[in-house]
């Protein structure tokens, strides 16, 4: 089948139905618990991941896909008759995944064009970009139009999250601009802003309920927004948050999903996250 094929990595937190509907290929990261290594989404489900993390004394670690993993995905696209591939990855400031994808793309020169795009985002922010690319490709857009669409949306994409702890980010070395919150992290519910692909402080709440309210206030403050998504890491109060925002963002108008092992490893359990694209 000719046309533009879309590839991304498993930090996009897309569902099986979303992937299947647009023929998107997911290249998985790996997750390690001590000496045990798992392929994200293939031999470690979301439920299994959070159960293991709750029972483990050591925090899980993640590793980016190898160039060979991406080269196999690109090769499958070539074998299927693709005219080109657009590969959109997790922010290069958070992972070396883009570097692996670019190395693989260089290895495919002469076989088919592969365009690697730094999403400057993660989780549902990345997932939304991938879905936009997939819809454009499905509609017959050529590779330049698909890359152009993604490039136009990247700077309008926002991701915020409320965490129960900064411990995972701290130990994983990805705390970025939220470092100032570490000293008091046991007594607060931190909010982070991952817009632009780096972790920045977005606020401090004394209670979980206030953290949810602050997430909602971020959404309202943004004005006209589209492609709203709410993601969570087995948060027991997800329905409470959805009810809080329902007056402006009804559940049937937004994407709701679970955060997978990649984001869960670094953000901890019970994360609540929101993403959107600024309206025009």
Dist. CA 26–CA 113, nearest whole Å:
18
pTM to 2 decimal places: 0.91
**pLDDT given at position 178:** 47
- State the maximum Cα–Cα separation within the chain, in Å, rounded to a whole number: 56
**pLDDT given at position 186:** 54
Could you tell me whether strands 189-193 and 200-205 are parallel, antiparallel, or unpaired per DSSP bridges?
A: antiparallel
**pLDDT given at position 128:** 98
For the chain, list the domains and their CATH numbers.
4-153 (3.40.50.10170), 156-278 (3.30.1180.10)
**pLDDT given at position 7:** 98
**pLDDT given at position 58:** 81
Q: How confident is the chain (280 residues) per 10-residue block, as mean pLDDT? A: 92 96 96 93 93 88 96 96 97 97 95 97 98 97 98 98 72 47 60 94 92 97 97 96 97 96 90 95
**pLDDT given at position 168:** 54
Q: Which residue has the tokens 């939220």?
A: 178
Looking at the chain, list the stretches that DSSP marks H as alpha helix, in order from N- to C-terminal side: 16-21, 46-55, 67-79, 97-107, 123-138, 143-153, 167-172, 208-221, 238-245, 261-267
**Which candidate, 78, 130, 69, places its Cα nearest to that of 101?**
69
Contact 104, 25 (CB under 8 A): no
**pLDDT given at position 167:** 62
Paired with 232 in beta bridges are 258, 272
Question: How is the beta sheet containing 4-9 ordered, strand by strand?
Answer: 25-27, 4-9, 84-89, 114-118
Dist. CA 77–CA 80, nearest whole Å:
5
């Amino acid at each position: 089948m000719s046309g533009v094929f879309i590839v991304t990595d498993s930090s996009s937190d897309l569902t099986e139905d979303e992937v299947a509907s647009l023929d998107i290929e997911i290249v998985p990261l790996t997750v390690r618990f001590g000496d045990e290594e798992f392929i994200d989404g293939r031999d470690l489900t979301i439920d299994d991941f959070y159960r293991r993390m709750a029972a483990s004394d050591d925090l899980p670690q993640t590793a980016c896909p190898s160039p060979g993993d991406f080269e196999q995905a690109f090769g499958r696209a070539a074998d299927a008759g693709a005219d080109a591939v657009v590969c959109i990855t997790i922010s290069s400031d958070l992972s070396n995944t883009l570097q692996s994808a670019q190395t693989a793309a260089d290895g495919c020169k002469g076989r088919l064009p592969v365009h690697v795009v730094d999403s400057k985002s993660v989780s549902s922010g990345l997932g939304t970009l991938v879905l936009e690319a997939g819809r454009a490709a499905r509609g017959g857009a050529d590779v330049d139009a698909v890359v152009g669409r993604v490039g136009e949306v990247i700077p309008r994409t926002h991701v915020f999250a409320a965490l129960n702890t900064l411990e995972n980010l701290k130990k994983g070395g990805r705390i970025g601009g939220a470092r100032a919150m570490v000293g008091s992290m046991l007594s607060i519910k931190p909010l982070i802003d991952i817009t632009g692909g780096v972790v920045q402080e977005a606020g401090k709440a004394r209670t979980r309920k206030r953290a949810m309210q602050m997430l909602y206030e971020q959404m309202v403050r943004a004005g006209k927004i589209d492609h709203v998504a709410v993601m969570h890491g087995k948060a027991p109060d997800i329905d409470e948050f959805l009810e809080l925002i329902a007056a402006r963002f009804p559940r049937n108008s937004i994407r709701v999903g679970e955060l997978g092992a990649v984001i869960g490893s670094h953000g901890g359990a019970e994360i609540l996250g929101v993403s959107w694209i600024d309206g025009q």
